Structure 1
């Protein structure tokens, strides 16, 4: 594990059964990390670990028929319900869907949350996406992780370096994405996540018709098969290129 500014090799995936591991999943919109990493989060909770979902926006402009304030409330409620269903915590920032800034203010706010929550692992978006909020979230998290761990940067809380960072497998973030971490899912974790994700209207295909639930359920089989697993969720590491088969925790 390295401190900010130090040079290190690829992050490693470890099983640390002796202590609780905290995984923080940071998404541009409520539902992003729920879909792409929710089964892994559910599995960590089932194994006695901790999971938090941080939504930078609600994705409130994503419904073609509902007024934005109405859909904002619905998305907030859906995100809370999903987190409860998998045993995680939901956190929200107050940025607007489609207008997420890429500035030092948002990076510092997320960095401060990293200091507060003290995660061991951070999950977020890949760098290239068809959705600008996703690409901006990637850059925000990269810098926020640095600010959160920078001991010489004085903030309200002491510095905390989140030792591992991975990028989730999102069809909207596919350009140049190569998954190299394959996290095996238990049947129980898959079922918990599979049921919980149907609480999102957009995931059920009720906004623009894309069959998110069917797509991401099927993707667990697609990602699991080459690794020799029945089901898996895949991630990419920020450094190097690896092919890891993961059982247990990060």
Structure 2
């Protein structure tokens, strides 16, 4: 059965996929797409007072709440915060999700990051595409590859990031903020970095560059393309 088009966002930690891709997800959910948020790790080592196990439970609940608010499915992979390997195991974990959920568009981290887990996620996702697409690899689900792959803008992934496409998210930006506030991290209760201020500012800047009130910038994985403006990514 045709389940319609699908967008998948793969983030290093629970919150990354939503923060960098949540507005993009909402645009596509509004257009009738399915959406899948994949977290390589819970991001369980980032709390000042909670143990990793305690914070992992908190992050899992927050991830489910954010996914519901975005109209998306939440998938948590079994890797550990700060210890995400660039490995065949991690690549197959992503490839198997791609084969099962069959996204038309995939969004993930740009590799030019100050965070090792973000770099590892980007590298693992790009390698997973080969494993997902090749029919000779026999897995539980048949081979499949997305039509388009993009890197999202993230404050920690700025080195070498260059926009190829601006997406107008003016109509969903308020709902995006409400969804991302599911995370205590985004609400400023865990880390000192002003996440909401940064992403509000980035949306205004990218909107100004694209000619609308609020926007997000995406970089195409296939190489440089003429700068374009869009409402959906396919």
- TM-score, length of structure 2 as denominator length: 0.95
2:217 to 193, 209, 234: 234
Asked if 1:212 corresponds to 2:212, the answer is no
User: Conserved in 2, the CA contact under 8 Å of 1:33 and 1:168?
Assistant: no
User: Conserved in 2, the CA contact under 8 Å of 1:43 and 1:186?
Assistant: no
SS at match of 1:199: coil
User: Conserved in 1, the CA contact under 8 Å of 2:105 and 2:233?
Assistant: no
SS at match of 1:82: helix
1:96 to 70, 73, 80: 80
1:125–1:248 CA distance, 2 compared to 1 (3 A): closer
Measured in 1, the distance between the counterparts of 2:19 and 2:93 equals 24
Partner in structure 2 of residue 225 of structure 1:
208
1:158 to 131, 136, 142: 142
Partner in structure 2 of residue 63 of structure 1:
47
Asked if 1:190 corresponds to 2:173, the answer is yes
Give the superposition deviation at 1:43.
1.6
Number of paired residues?
231
Measured in 1, the distance between the counterparts of 2:89 and 2:150 equals 23
Measured in 1, the distance between the counterparts of 2:153 and 2:207 equals 13
- TM-score, length of structure 1 as denominator length: 0.89
Residue-by-residue CA offset, 1:62-103 (whole Å, 9 max, x unaligned): 111211111111111001000001111100111100001111
Q: How does 1:77-226 map to 2 (within 5 A)?
A: 77-187=61-171, 189-226=172-209
Measured in 2, the distance between the counterparts of 1:56 and 1:25 equals 11
Higher relative contact order (CA 8 A, sep 6+): 1
Unaligned runs of 5+ in 1: 1-18
